A and B are shown apart, each in its own frame.
Chain A
Amino acid sequence: MPGLEDLYKEIILDHYRNPRNRGELPPPACKTEGFNPLCGDEIVVYAHIVDDQIVDIKMGGQGCSISQSSASMMSQAVKGKTIDEVKQLTNDFKAMMSIPGKGAASSSEADSAEAIAAAKAAASAGDAGNIAATTAGAAEKPDLSMGDLSALKGVVKFPVRIKCAVLSWNTLLEAIEQAEAS
């Protein structure tokens, strides 16, 4: 049985205790809400997107330490990034959570069982940097660092909590889709 120290790293608790980029943004920023219908967690994303770039982002909602710290770290990681970079980062993060990638940077390899297995192996080996290369293919990939986010890799050992960790990312993707549609 994995120990809780794999899950509740100090940096995660720090983001939970002191969430970054907490608040709201007025229109024209997009606002999207994400819910986890199983546990009731909620995430609100305010993303101000100008010329394919996230120029500002604020986060709201309430939930467990994993969902809220992931949201806080995500907001730091994506601020100032281009949409393509954010989609890449999302794929990388989901790969770390052993979820096959899709979207702009996905490859057929990323959907394969081997890629997932490799992601899991990399996650347990503790090298988050390798995961993106393994699953999304190294070519044409922007150089993106997972930074604090790699602290969440222990979540993969607690499969029930993976949906907590990815809730904010899916909610951000919806905001991006909304911006792209308008």
Chain B
Amino acid sequence: MPVDFSTIKADFPIFDRQINGKPIVYLDSGATSQKPRAVLDAMDNYYRNHSASVNRGAYQLAAEANDLVDDARASVARFIGAPSSNEIIFTKNATEAMNLFAYSWGHANLGEGDVVVISEMEHHANIVPWHMLTQSKGIELRWIPLTESGELDLSNLDALLDGAKLVSVTAMSNVLGTMNPIRRLADAAHAVGAIMMADGSQYVPHVPTNVTELGVDAMIFTGHKMLGPTGVGVLWGTTELLDAMPPFLGGGDMIMQVTKEGFTTNALPHKFEAGTPMVAEIIGLGAAVKYLENIGMDNVREHEVSLTAYALRSLKERFGDDITIHGPSEPASRGGLLSLVYKDVHPHDLSQVLDQANVCVRAGHHCAKPLMQLMGVNSTARASLHVYNDESDIDALADALESADDIFGGLGF
């Protein structure tokens, strides 16, 4: 069913706001997305009408809170095609989810000389936990290189995977927008007896996702980039994988039995959810998932491909060689993350100029410093899209870019 995307902005209360009498042009959803009324209402409803601790009380309120969390967990599982909602582990964010996995699975399964393969386009959250295991366990970290166009160079994959125990790669680059061949990597990993982890932080919010079809053993993503609240992320893993992993944090909820001599762990998902969870945020994420499902993820993807195509085309038409947009040039093979270099204007200065027109973009290294070094820059300005963006936002970005000439036009390095 076709969706009228022109009405979507009205679902997001923040777009009612004006700054200095002008509307907000929000192009930083790669950092965090805005939240629809449905998400705000769901969290508000929990606090107003159903606030109680979960997994504990026997009273009506507690049962209602339990039901809301269970429903959210089931919604998230359905959203990514997970076979069981018990495989959805709620964490603080995607970074914590990766650290949970690296610490628990890594310490149990990796030793001196064991190989973990990542790529040169990873976010720090999929680099630093492995560096930490390099230091503590002596593992070897290998990097899949990139091609000129910002895609994975898999020409030497067999050699890279030789002896690998884990392949952990992003499904969509947060800098380049590149969508990686996760299924192919998963099959190659399995062929050498390794397991496959995908970082879905930029992928799950924008692309129809089915973990079984992707062939991965584990995936992480975060709520706040998919129209949900901050403070909730997800580690998904197969039951087999999660069952075999030792617990991460110890405390309440994660135990079956505690004595003076020791403890036994609770079943999934509670084994990895020690302590009182972020109940309102989990419920908010459940509402975000339902909101996206209601639009339809196929429609979301189609809208963003079309808008990315418009952005690539119109910015190039207007600025020609004065603008460089990193990453794949084919909209259908990338996400709506556009790392821009405009003339010689430093990204930090560029974002300051854009801010005058309420155009919100991210300037910085995007927590991907190895990739920045490869690109020969120390930062980029990144415009990133979500369901609420439309062509007027791209036009506003272009107009604001032009205004940078007023200040920096004569620089001429």
Contact = CB atoms under 8 A, between A and B. Distances in A.
A89 to B, nearest CB: 25
Q: Is the interface of B mostly helix, strand, loop or mixed?
A: mixed
Contact of A64 (B19, B349, B369, B407): B349
B378 interface: yes
A181 interface: no
Contact of B407 (A4, A62, A158, A164): A4
Contacts of A40: 364-365, 369, 372, 378-379
Contacts of B369: 40
Interface centre among B356, B365, B369, B378 (most CB of A within 10 A): B378
Contacts of A16: 411
Contacts of A42: 378
B378 A63 contact: yes
Contact of A39 (B353, B365, B408): B365
Nearest to A65: B349
Contacts of B379: 39-41
Contacts of A63: 346, 348, 378
A174 to B, nearest CB: 19
Contact of A38 (B19, B346, B352, B364): B364
Chain A interface residue number, banded: 20 to 34
Contacts of B356: 1, 3-4
A158 B364 CA distance: 17
Contacts of B348: 39, 41, 63-64, 66-67, 161, 164
Interface string A21-50: 000000000000000001111100000000
A4 B352 contact: yes
B65 interface: no
A1 B358 CA distance: 11
B378 A1 contact: no
Contact of A8 (B19, B378, B407): B407
B20 interface: yes
B363 interface: yes
A105 interface: no
Interface string B253-278: 00000000000000000000000000
Interface string B378-408: 1100000000000000000000000000011
A1 B413 CA distance: 30
Interface centre among B20, B348, B378, B379 (most CB of A within 10 A): B348
A41 B411 CA distance: 19
Interface in A1-21: 1, 3-4, 7-8, 13, 16-17
Given A13-B408, A16-B411, A41-B348, 12 more contacts: A1-B356, A4-B356, A8-B408, A13-B407, A39-B365, A39-B379, A41-B378, A63-B348, A66-B348, A67-B348, A161-B352, A164-B348
11 contacts: A1-B19, A1-B356, A4-B353, A4-B407, A39-B363, A40-B365, A42-B378, A63-B346, A63-B378, A65-B346, A158-B352
Interface of B: 19-20, 346-349, 352-353, 356, 363-365, 369, 372, 378-379, 407-408, 411-413
Interface of A: 1, 3-4, 7-8, 13, 16-17, 38-42, 62-67, 158, 161, 164
Which 9 pairs, one residue from A and one from B, show the smallest C-beta to C-beta distance? A64-B348, A40-B365, A40-B378, A40-B379, A64-B346, A39-B364, A1-B20, A8-B407, A65-B349
